[in-house]
Amino acid sequence: MAGPEGKRITVKQNSGRNGRGSSIRSRVLAIALIPSVALLVVGIALAGYLIFDAAQARGYARKIRGSEGPGIPFLLAAEQERQLSMSVLAGQDAARAALLATRPKTDASAAQITSVLQGNFASDSNVPASVKQNIATFAGLEAKLPQLRQRVDSGQVPRLEVFSFYNQIIDQFTQGVAGLAQAARGADNAYARLSAIPIFTAAEEMQRSDALASAGLAAGGLSGDEQRAYLGQIGAYHAQLEQSVPQMVPEVRANYDKLVSSPAWTTVTQVENALLSGAKQLPVPIEQWRTDAKQVATTLMTMFAAQSAHATNAAITDADDTLRNSIIAGAAAVLFALAVVLVALRLSKRFISRLARLREDTLDAAEVRLPELVGRVRAGEPVDLDEGGHLLDHGTDEIGEVAEAFNLAQQSALAAAVEEAKTRQGTKAVFLNIAHRSQVIVHRQLKVLDAAERKQEDPDQLDTLFRLDHLSTRARRNAENLIILGGGQPGRQWRNPVSLVELVRGAAAETEHFARVKTAKLPEVAVRGPVVGDLVHLLAELIDNATSFSPPEARVELRGNVVGKGVVIEVEDQGLGIEQEQADEFNAMLADPPDFGIMALSDEPRLGLFVVARLASRHGISVHLRESAYGGTRAIVLVRKDLLAPISETEPSAAETESAADSDGVPELSRLAAEPSRADPRRPESPQRKQAPPEPQQAELPQPSRVAPEPRVAPEQQRPELPTRRAMRPAAEAPPVRPPQNREQRPPADNGRVPRPAAENGRAAPPRPPGRPPLPQRRRQQNLVPQLRSDRPAAESDDVREDSPEQARARLSAFQQGTRRAREADPGHDNRYGDRD
């Protein structure tokens, strides 16, 4: 304590010297530290981005300008070769010499433009994939050009095929130009570059119409297909020119106005009109028309080059300006941010040191001193509330006021903890008191019911008493729930291990609708005594949930299996199931039980599952909910290995272990008459805690055998310590109810029986399907009271066995259902597990 006290004294002295008389307003400038650093980072990042973007834009524009130079000569050469090739195919031999002279120009310009395009754009990540595809297609078509030329020279190719091939080459170039324009940096640059495309398209379509007209005139007239193609090309290039006029730059617009008013344009227009009207003779000499058409085509291509060059130059200029401005702005932002950071650091030095001390003292108070005070309060020690209000002292300025606010908050928290501790103790005491009172009343009620059951012989009255018995058992479990929620121990405890079969049957017997519970074969293992009571309670809650949230006629299946980490017990119903989101919430609660106060404040408290979570957490048992194959819910309970014991450690049993499914859903559970514990005066149930018998008597316990032994009278204090597992008698062999016997001379709890041997009176029993009970069979004198089957000595007239109420009920039900099945069921058709017709 000396260390913390000395620390508090040092903080008081330093804070008083540094903080008194000064205002926190003079230190608000320190808040500029974070914005300054942010401004510095943002400024550097923004300047870097602008510089990088400007450099990329300038490089992109320079690449386009470098591609425009070899592109125009290639287009002019390709268009001229197309026109001459079609003329030669039309029979104009005079054009062959000009065609042979044009081909080397086309090859040279094509090789140059292909090299430029692949070098500038093929590996550029900023270029769209469509442009790269156009470049690849363009190169492929260029490689096929020699083959086409051979066919043209031999005259073995139609004119329209040649026309289409050259059009494809030029179309790939046109599409690539459009793609590069769309990928230009900046909306203005992209728009300016796209405005040049219609001019290029108009020039190309004008050349295509000229090639068609030249070939048609040489061949004596246009064919039907050529006439339609010619009409489409004429209309398209005039429309493209009219569309591009508003976007033309002044220089290009002046050239356009000059072109449309020139004699060459007039000549071309006259020829086009004549061909469209179907005239066989041109209105002008053909040499003049060819000269004027070439002039118009060259002028249109020059207009495209000028428009594109203007867009390229504007892009380069804009990129240069952006680069220069970005460098200047970035440098200014960096210098300004550095200056603000330096000033903010200097102003915040003393302020930050005081805040650091306040933080340390506050953390020490919140994590060490205040938890110590709260722990003392919860432990019941007296605590002075003023002690929690003087944990921090940092002067009288604004920082001191913040420290005083922390003191008030901590004092309020301490006062709330005191009140909460008082409320918890009172609530817990009342809670447990009510639960214990309810427990005592239910225990007395069960004793009264037990006495009434033993004296009653009317089956209808017995059935009513059994239902009351189960409801009372459920009420007792609810009282135990209250004790568990209040942090207490329910009281039912065992010293020795109990077999898993008896444990599961005992849990099923505590539910109201036990007749719907079907128990599959369970592994031959035992559960250690301290875990038995809580595990029975846990399974009873899960079984009760399964029967409550499933249709009345649906069954609930219990099964178990040995796994690597222990034993798994599954409780599966056939209800509607639960939503996955809700199942995840329940599984989270089962894995980590919350505080009971949180459960009480929830909209839909699941107290049964909360009790299951508490019990599972107490012993390290895992419980998980998942969807069943029937659409319902399956609860998987994993009992760890260290909670299990070998079956040999349990007390010997005189009965065989059978599935409750063999008795049509009515479990024959042992209500073992044992003396209840003094610490927990409640009605014993199966499995039940017993007092340990004297050591010599354990050698006299009955052992499992194939023949049911004669019951032996034993004193009350010599009953076996552990519950015995009883064999489930088939429905056809259920004996009638015996009259109540003297309670003072009750036989020991070990009254287990086994079924008769499979072969009786010389007849072999039919093979029994796995997992199914045999069909009921009639046997002689089966319904006789055992005392009437043979004479007994007079000395043993008082040593008769008294059956428990559960046995009487199970046997009556089994007898009734077995005889009904024997009368109604078809021996060749086993339909015990479904509805009968």
What is the DSSP-derived secondary structure letter of residue 512? Answer: T
For residue 504, the model assigns a pLDDT of 92
CATH architecture under which domain 490-693+715-738 falls: 2-Layer Sandwich (3.30)
Kindly tell me if the per-residue pLDDT of 528 is higher than 80: yes
Q: Is the dihedral of CA 48, 50, 55, 57 positive or negative?
A: positive
On whether the CB atoms of residues 199 and 181 are closer than 8 A, the answer is no
Residues 231, 278 contacting (CB under 8 angstroms): no
Number of residues written out for the chain = 837
List all residues 6 or more positions away from 288 whose beta carbon is below 8 Å from its beta carbon. Answer: 267
How far apart (Å, rounded) are the C-alpha atoms in residues 718 and 698? Answer: 9
Lookup result for tokens 């599984």: 587
Flag whether pLDDT at 597 surpasses 90: no
- Token pair belonging to 488: 């207490």
Please give the residue that has the higher pLDDT: either 800 or 128: 128
Query: Would you state the pLDDT for residue 25?
Result: 55
Spatial neighbors of 678 by CB under 8 A, at least 6 apart, are: none
pLDDT interval class at 777 (50, 70, 90): low
Range with lowest mean pLDDT among 32-41, 201-210, 702-711, 822-831: 702-711
User: Which tens digits make up the pLDDT trace of 226-274?
Assistant: 788 888 888 888 888 888 888 888 888 998 899 889 999 999 888 888 8
Range with the poorest average pLDDT among 396-400, 419-423, 465-469, 770-774:
770-774
Is residue 91 within 8 A of residue 216, CB to CB? The reply is no
Say yes or no to pLDDT of 423 above 90. Answer: no
Task: List the single range of 110-124, 170-184, 434-448, 797-811 with lowest mean pLDDT.
Answer: 797-811
- Alpha-carbon distance of 590 to 59, in angstroms, equals 65
pLDDT bin (cut points 50, 70, 90) of residue 42 is confident
Measured CA to CA, the distance from residue 178 to residue 194 in angstroms comes to 7
Q: Directed axis angle between helix 129-143 and helix 145-154, to 10°?
A: 40
Beta-strand pair 526-527/517-519: unpaired
- Average predicted confidence (pLDDT) for the chain: 73
Q: How confident is the model over 153-161, as a mean pLDDT?
A: 86
Q: Cβ atoms within 10 A of the Cβ of 7, count?
A: 14
Strand runs (DSSP E) across 537-609, as ranges? 556-563, 566-572
Which long-range contacts link 807-810 to residues 24+ away (Cβ below 8 Å)? Answer: 807/668, 807/670, 807/671, 807/726, 807/751, 808/453, 808/462, 808/737, 808/738, 809/462, 809/463, 809/466, 809/666, 810/663, 810/666, 810/667, 810/668, 810/669, 810/734
| Model confidence at 727: pLDDT above 80 | no
CA 389 to CA 408: how far, in whole Å? 6
Structure confidence at residue 691 as a pLDDT band (50, 70, 90): very low
Q: For 529-588, write each residue's pLDDT tens digit.
A: 899 988 998 999 999 999 988 898 899 999 999 999 999 999 999 988 889 998 998 999
517 pairs with which residues across the strands? 556
Q: What is the pLDDT of residues 367-415, one digit of tens each?
A: 888 888 887 777 777 777 665 555 676 777 777 888 888 888 878 887 8
DSSP 216-284: HHHTTS--HHHHHHHHHHHHHHHHHHHHHGGG--HHHHHHHHHHHTSHHHHHHHHHHHHHHTT-SS-SS
DSSP bridge pairs for 518 = 557
Tell me what pLDDT residue 596 has. 62
| Angle formed by the axes of helices 96-121 and 129-143, nearest 10° | 150
Mutual angle of helices 580-591 and 607-619, in 10-degree steps: 40
Give burial (CB, 10 Å; 0-12/13-18/19+) of 587: middle
What pLDDT sits at residue 823?
61
Supply the pLDDT for residue 598: 55
Residue 362 has pLDDT above 90, yes or no: no
Mean pLDDT for the stretch of residues 191-206: 81
Phi, psi of 170 (to 5 degrees): -70, -35
- E strands, 494-632, are 498-499, 517-519, 526-527, 556-563, 566-572, 622-627
Question: Which residues pair with residue 560 across a beta bridge?
Answer: 569
pLDDT in tens, 714-724: 333 333 333 33
Distance in angstroms (rounded) separating the CA atoms of residues 458 and 452? 11
CA pair distance 58, 519, nearest whole angstrom: 82
